Structure 1
């Protein structure tokens, strides 16, 4: 165990987590309201598939082309889900699950002959948030700012297509920073914890998210444990505590 905390590592990673939370907290509330909980896993996996396809093409993993490939894949997935929800709304959750498994297995097939394929898939799932640097946050920050502005302007009028497109862009901006597991956790867990709160719901969800990221990063540095997995657990435990201390009954209206 190393008790030393290197803030030059922790602070950029924490900044990445805050960027993710800015968009994922309000979008997570929309996901619960619409009853399509696993959409984030599907879109995140589709964005990851775009990254894998770009990698097969030997593109710079830190370059804009990879970001573009992930965005195109996620937007195409969002457009497809928009159409399936309109065409077969009664089985939308099942269709989301099918898209997730198809994207996941397509990624496995594409890296089947890559000696580093398993490691790359692991990075996309669990993330490498502890090694994020400030220079990697510029593009996600710009995308996050645009999405937050759109959410503010469209509040209460977030139709099917705008929701799916904004969701796709938000996930694209976050999946390479924190990985698929943290994308799902950031979207769903804080929203679940505060769903019965009538007041201060959004600020409380942000506090849960920030506290989970901070605790997970610090503990992972101290005990040399995988940061993404530990953040998931810290965030979930904190969310459970907030939920246990809060009001019970039917969820308050969003």
Structure 2
């Protein structure tokens, strides 16, 4: 029997693929305090699902197009001094609500909406694995290529300009990478939980990383452990897999936070 015929093997590979792509990108989300940015883009993914179903397109293409559009719009508005917390709240929840309504009124289309809200990793097929690992590979390659420039731009726009780096270009690189991660992750953890895999592993790694590179590597390890651990717990106790993965990540974050506090107290 081909080992990919086992649905648990496919689920484990899918979780690892998403975790490895999301974790290093999540470091930049944490460093730049862009959690709101990730939430707004992820919530818009449901609208991408609706458009893909309505126009008979690939779900990946629909979600990627809408996520990228939302990310570009949010990034552009953030440079114009708008009240971003209010504006992002309006855009994120409006896109989510419009997507939910659009999915509900699509004629002749049967869809498990919960799988797109909270993920359905156990239903991942071979084609999904190709998309997930292909997207993850693109994200990792993009971050590897622009790593130094992204770090410099993250430290400050003045420093970036002094080094001959355009911070707006680097922001666009992060925007594209974020849209790619959301497009490949929606099948695994769903639109409502994608931001968790971006933020929690990076936040957990922060307590034990002396360099940005080490933080990214630790975040990837924590993300992979969360995916595999959450999958095992969900299988053992018959709980929803996507939320369980996030719960395991949250438990690791809580443990790392306590360990970091204890280490700080001793020093």
Aligned-pair distance for 1:30?
A: 0.9
- 2:248 is the counterpart of 1:234: yes
Deviations 1:220-246 (A, max 9, x none): 112222111211111211221122213
- RMSD (Å), alpha carbons: 2.5
Residues 167-182 of structure 1: matches in 2 within 5 Å?
A: 167-182=178-193
In structure 1, which of residues 135, 144, 147 is the aligned counterpart of residue 127 of structure 2?
135
**Which residue number in structure 2 is paired with residue 43 of structure 1?**
41
Deviations 1:196-221 (A, max 9, x none): 33334233222222222222111211
C-alpha contact (below 8 Å) 2:19/2:223 kept by paired residues: yes
Distance 1:157 1:101 in 2: 33
C-alpha contact (below 8 Å) 2:43/2:192 kept by paired residues: no
Distance 2:48 2:144 in 1: 29
Give 3-state SS (helix, strand or coil) of 1:177's partner.
coil
Aligned-pair distance for 1:149?
A: 1.0
Distance 1:65 1:243 in 2: 40
- 2:17 is the counterpart of 1:19: yes
Q: TM-score, normalised by structure 1?
A: 0.83
- The count of residues paired between Structure 1 and Structure 2 equals 238
Larger mean Cα displacement after TM superposition, 201-210 or 149-158:
201-210
In structure 1, which of residues 67, 74, 82 is the aligned counterpart of residue 75 of structure 2?
82
Give the gaps of 5 or more residues in structure 2.
Answer: 151-169
Aligned-pair distance for 1:104?
A: 0.9
Aligned-pair distance for 1:121?
A: 2.8
C-alpha contact (below 8 Å) 2:16/2:228 kept by paired residues: no
Give 3-state SS (helix, strand or coil) of 1:152's partner.
helix
Q: TM-score, normalised by structure 2?
A: 0.80
Q: Displaced runs of 4+ in structure 1, greater than 6 A? A: 115-119
C-alpha contact (below 8 Å) 2:40/2:92 kept by paired residues: yes
Give the gaps of 5 or more residues in structure 1.
Answer: 1-6, 250-254
- 2:215 is the counterpart of 1:201: yes
